């Protein structure tokens, strides 16, 4: 392996730093430059929260509720969060608003399949892990049972497992990627446990008579997908291309595993989209000089050397298998209702560090999918299917995502945005620039987007599309590398540690068009600190503002919920642990935010997911103890198996922290947030 990249930080901390460095050296404008051009110094201060993209663009000044009503939506946002908010803070436990219950549903190591052995943290094996709940849960999707119903008391949960944290998973080894260790204790059995702890879990859950949720034992749907042995199919325009062929797979259509699955989304036909994000980190070795994949690998930072899997599996060593990395970085579609279904990597949606997927049914029946590329200076994309959704024939929809057009966003200073098609033969996307086919464009999506002049964003994380009112919310998490010479009076955050939320607006339910409008919903960070210049509604309390938006969900009432991931910088960014905030998007309270839930120290908050009745909220507590927990360990150093910042959620003396799904219900059985 080449030199380590971590040195004393947790893996998630190093992920953050890597994403923060950014490698996009194209001359395209950044979103900060566009914001500066769009709003004058004073305009940006008064304009941010003044109205929706549509309102600003039309100069109408209409209250947002009016514009939403004009969409004739049965699910127009109503706002009006009435819960009592909790306070900023940090400790070893989780906290929820008064009048709500927040219970542990499933933890790392709990049985998923009916033949799974009981969890023994000191005698773990890959075979056991492959049947148990994986590590670092991120996306959660709830799918009612039976298929096609809106049952909110029984359904399937799809939960992904983004990555692993060896220092709190395995006894006695501590951090393995530092200079002094260089993965030296990462034996093949431990590597295989890591591989088995990646991927996703599908579980069946039900709400019992007492209002509490539990797993359904022996469910025929229960299933693990992992990176050790689960076969995935590569589909769409790049499937079978020479650049996707390997020694183990001369077809270029069959790959073991999915990697670093972060956020995701659900389709109208009852499948899950799960996004492969930081796939580069799993590759090691050194590509031979002058190799044809050199430019491609560099644009995606392959090899990242975050794991030593290449020591035991040739396919993760780029010297031995240069094409394997091209088989990751895709959006994966899984049909949880068919336990025998093969996960499909949909190449038509492009290859980048996909954070998530926001799927919306377009007014003309086509399906539109938004996805961000989470790295400093990367882009926002959308995909429009060629064919229409068929509400009467599920099978007709199962390969809809193999055919369509991929676009990348350019945000203009006048409040409009252009969607630039990534189509072979159009504009610069030709053989002269190394794109010999659509497959080349999809494999090297970033470089194609560079050539089109897409706007460089501040790390696009999750995107959520309102199903009815034409709004789309893009979480831009932070951007600490903005240089001083990019700062001006209108764009005062030289080092954007806090992020912002872009709101796009389409007209007449047409998400497929070449243009839309955009504005900023809010600018995260402390509004009371002039150095930070956070922009929330003025009535937002000292606990209501947040930093580093990451995941989001729109509840069945059409209201926006945002969760945060500040990484190790939480103390500096906000002083509070991450959590869930409810954010008003309508009317006079637009931009008003309230804190609803808080994670234990060192965790990030992922996976907000509501049941169709809005009475249950599932959230994923990812990597408890590992991010900036030094003040909570006995040693004052980073968490280890023996000395973690918290032993949440079990608090047993010999049990390390365990990433877990938490289920939140209102004690009186009412709507979440009401």
Would you tell me which residues interact with ligand FEO (CB under 6 A)?
162, 262, 277, 355, 374, 461
Q: Residues of 30-64 as b/e, b for ≥16 C-beta within 10 angstroms? A: bbbbbbbebbeeeebeebbbebbbbbbbeeeebbb
Rounded distance, CA 299 to CA 307, Å? Answer: 19
Tell me the closest approach of the beta carbon of residue 551 to ligand FEO, in angstroms.
Answer: 8
For Ca ion, give the closer residue by CB, 422 or 569. Answer: 569
At 102, is the secondary structure helix, strand, or coil?
A: strand
At 342, is the secondary structure helix, strand, or coil?
A: coil
Tell me the closest approach of the beta carbon of residue 376 to ligand FEO, in angstroms.
Answer: 11
Tell me the closest approach of the beta carbon of residue 461 to ligand FEO, in angstroms.
Answer: 5
C-beta separation of 464 from 561 below 8 A: no
List the single partner that 584 binds among Ca ion, ligand FEO, none, CB under 5 to 8 Å by kind.
none
Rounded distance, CA 662 to CA 101, Å? Answer: 10
At 570, is the secondary structure helix, strand, or coil?
A: helix
At 150, is the secondary structure helix, strand, or coil?
A: coil
Tell me the closest approach of the beta carbon of residue 136 to ligand FEO, in angstroms.
Answer: 9
Tell me the closest approach of the beta carbon of residue 14 to Ca ion, in angstroms.
Answer: 13
List the single partner that 324 binds among Ca ion, ligand FEO, none, CB under 5 to 8 Å by kind.
none
Taken in order 348, 409, 607, 162, the sign of the CA dihedral is positive
Give the helix/strand (H/E) hosting 55.
helix 53-58
At 431, is the secondary structure helix, strand, or coil?
A: helix
C-beta separation of 518 from 55 below 8 A: no
Tell me the closest approach of the beta carbon of residue 206 to ligand FEO, in angstroms.
Answer: 29
List the single partner that 450 binds among Ca ion, ligand FEO, none, CB under 5 to 8 Å by kind.
none
At 21, is the secondary structure helix, strand, or coil?
A: helix
* Residue 561 in tokens: 């919920």
Tell me the three-class secondary structure of 429-476, residue by residue: CCHHHCCCCHHHHHHCHHHHHHHHCCCECECEEEEEECCCCCEEEEEE
List the single partner that 555 binds among Ca ion, ligand FEO, none, CB under 5 to 8 Å by kind.
none
Binding site for Ca ion (CB under 5 A): 262, 461-462, 550-551, 565
Tell me the closest approach of the beta carbon of residue 356 to Ca ion, in angstroms.
Answer: 6
List the single partner that 462 binds among Ca ion, ligand FEO, none, CB under 5 to 8 Å by kind.
Ca ion
For Ca ion, give the closer residue by CB, 300 or 313. Answer: 300
List the single partner that 162 binds among Ca ion, ligand FEO, none, CB under 5 to 8 Å by kind.
ligand FEO
Rounded distance, CA 285 to CA 144, Å? Answer: 44
Tell me the closest approach of the beta carbon of residue 564 to ligand FEO, in angstroms.
Answer: 11
Q: Helices then strands (H, E): number in the chain?
A: 13, 29
Q: Alpha helix locations (H) across 113-254?
A: 126-129, 166-169, 188-197
For ligand FEO, give the closer residue by CB, 162 or 194. Answer: 162
CB closest to ligand FEO, residue no = 262
Tell me the closest approach of the beta carbon of residue 552 to ligand FEO, in angstroms.
Answer: 12
For ligand FEO, give the closer residue by CB, 429 or 603. Answer: 603
For ligand FEO, give the closer residue by CB, 444 or 461. Answer: 461
C-beta separation of 419 from 513 below 8 A: yes
List the single partner that 167 binds among Ca ion, ligand FEO, none, CB under 5 to 8 Å by kind.
none
For ligand FEO, give the closer residue by CB, 459 or 466. Answer: 459
For ligand FEO, give the closer residue by CB, 324 or 375. Answer: 375
Look at strands 416-421 and 404-411 and give their pairing: antiparallel
Rounded distance, CA 673 to CA 83, Å? Answer: 6
For ligand FEO, give the closer residue by CB, 440 or 565. Answer: 565
CB closest to Ca ion, residue no = 565
Radius of gyration of the chain (CA): 23
List the single partner that 277 binds among ligand FEO, Ca ion, none, CB under 5 to 8 Å by kind.
ligand FEO
At 563, is the secondary structure helix, strand, or coil?
A: strand
Rounded distance, CA 492 to CA 272, Å? Answer: 40
DSSP 288: P
For Ca ion, give the closer residue by CB, 548 or 592. Answer: 548
Tell me the closest approach of the beta carbon of residue 435 to ligand FEO, in angstroms.
Answer: 27
List the single partner that 301 binds among ligand FEO, Ca ion, none, CB under 5 to 8 Å by kind.
none
For ligand FEO, give the closer residue by CB, 162 or 458. Answer: 162
For ligand FEO, give the closer residue by CB, 335 or 604. Answer: 604
List the single partner that 373 binds among Ca ion, ligand FEO, none, CB under 5 to 8 Å by kind.
none
For Ca ion, give the closer residue by CB, 12 or 445. Answer: 12
Tell me the closest approach of the beta carbon of residue 409 to ligand FEO, in angstroms.
Answer: 18
Tell me the closest approach of the beta carbon of residue 375 to ligand FEO, in angstroms.
Answer: 8
List the single partner that 325 binds among ligand FEO, Ca ion, none, CB under 5 to 8 Å by kind.
none
* Residue 313 in tokens: 């599996």
At 26, is the secondary structure helix, strand, or coil?
A: coil
Q: What is the dihedral of CA 103, 105, 107, 113, to 10 degrees?
A: 170
């Amino acid at each position: 392996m080449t030199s380590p990249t971590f040195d004393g930080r947790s893996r998630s901390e190093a992920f953050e730093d890597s994403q923060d460095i950014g490698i996009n050296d194209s001359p395209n404008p950044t979103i900060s430059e566009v914001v500066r051009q769009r709003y004058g110094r004073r305009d940006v201060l008064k304009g941010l929260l003044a109205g929706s993209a549509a309102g600003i663009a039309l100069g109408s000044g209409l209250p947002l509720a009016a514009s939403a009503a004009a969409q004739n939506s049965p699910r127009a946002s109503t706002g009006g969060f009435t819960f009592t908010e909790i306070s900023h803070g940090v400790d070893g436990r989780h906290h929820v608003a008064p009048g709500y219950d927040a219970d542990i549903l499933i933890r790392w190591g709990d049985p998923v399949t009916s033949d799974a052995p009981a969890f023994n943290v000191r005698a773990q094996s890959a075979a056991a892990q492959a049947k148990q709940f994986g590590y670092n849960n991120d996306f959660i999707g709830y799918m009612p049972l039976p298929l096609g119903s809106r049952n909110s008391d029984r359904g399937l949960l799809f939960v992904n497992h983004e990555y692993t944290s060896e220092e709190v998973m395995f006894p006695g080894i501590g951090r393995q990627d530092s200079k002094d260790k260089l993965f030296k204790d990462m034996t093949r059995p431990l590597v295989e446990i890591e591989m088995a702890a990646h991927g996703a879990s599908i579980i069946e859950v039900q709400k019992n008579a007492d209002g509490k949720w539990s797993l359904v034992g022996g469910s025929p749907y229960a299933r693990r997908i992992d990176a050790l042995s689960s076969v995935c199919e590569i589909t769409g325009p790049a499937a079978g291309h020479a650049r996707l062929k390997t020694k183990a797979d001369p077809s270029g259509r069959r790959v073991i595993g999915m990697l670093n699955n972060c956020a995701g989304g659900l389709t109208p036909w009852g499948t899950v989209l799960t996004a492969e994000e930081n796939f580069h980190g799993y590759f090691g070795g050194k590509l031979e000089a002058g190799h044809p994949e050199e430019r491609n690998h560099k644009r995606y930072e392959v090899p990242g050397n975050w794991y030593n899997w290449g020591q035991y599996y040739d396919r993760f060593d780029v010297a031995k298998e240069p094409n394997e990395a091209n088989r990751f970085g895709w959006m994966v579609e899984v049909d949880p209702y068919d336990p025998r279904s093969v996960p499909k990597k949909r190449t038509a949606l492009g290859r980048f560090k996909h954070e998530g997927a926001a799927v919306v049914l377009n007014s003309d029946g086509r399906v539109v999918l938004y996805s961000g590329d989470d790295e400093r200076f990367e882009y926002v994309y959308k995909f429009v299917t060629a064919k229409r959704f068929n509400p009467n024939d599920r099978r007709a929809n199962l390969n809809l995502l193999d055919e369509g057009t991929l676009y990348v966003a350019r945000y203009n200073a006048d409040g409009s945005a252009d969607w630039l098609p990534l189509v072979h033969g159009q504009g610069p996307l030709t053989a002269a620039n190394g794109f010999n086919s659509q497959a080349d464009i999809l494999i090297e999506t970033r470089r194609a987007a560079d050539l089109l002049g897409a706007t460089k964003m501040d790390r696009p994380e999750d995107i959520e599309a309102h199903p009815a009112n034409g709004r789309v919310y893009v979480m831009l998490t932070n951007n600490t590398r903005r240089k001083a010479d990019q700062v001006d009076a209108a764009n005062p955050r030289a080092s954007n540690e806090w992020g912002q939320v872009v709101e796009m607006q389409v007209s007449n339910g047409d998400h497929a068009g070449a243009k839309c409008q955009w504005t900023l919903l809010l600018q995260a960070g402390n509004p009371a600190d002039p150095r930070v210049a956070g922009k929330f509604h003025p009535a937002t309390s000292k606990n209501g503002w947040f930093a580093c938006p990451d995941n989001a969900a729109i509840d069945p009432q059409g209201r926006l919920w945002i969760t945060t991931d500040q990484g190790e910088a939480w103390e500096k960014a906000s002083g509070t642990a991450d959590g869930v905030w409810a954010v008003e998007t309508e009317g006079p309270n637009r931009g008003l935010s309230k804190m609803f839930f808080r994670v234990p120290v060192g965790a990030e908050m992922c996976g907000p997911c509501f049941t169709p009745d809005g009475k249950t909220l599932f959230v994923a507590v990812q990597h408890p103890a590992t991010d900036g927990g030094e003040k909570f360990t006995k040693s004052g150093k980073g968490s280890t198996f023996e000395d973690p910042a918290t032993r949440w959620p079990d608090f047993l003396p010999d049990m390390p922290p365990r990433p877990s799904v938490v289920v939140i219900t209102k004690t009186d059985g009412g709507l979440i947030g009401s």
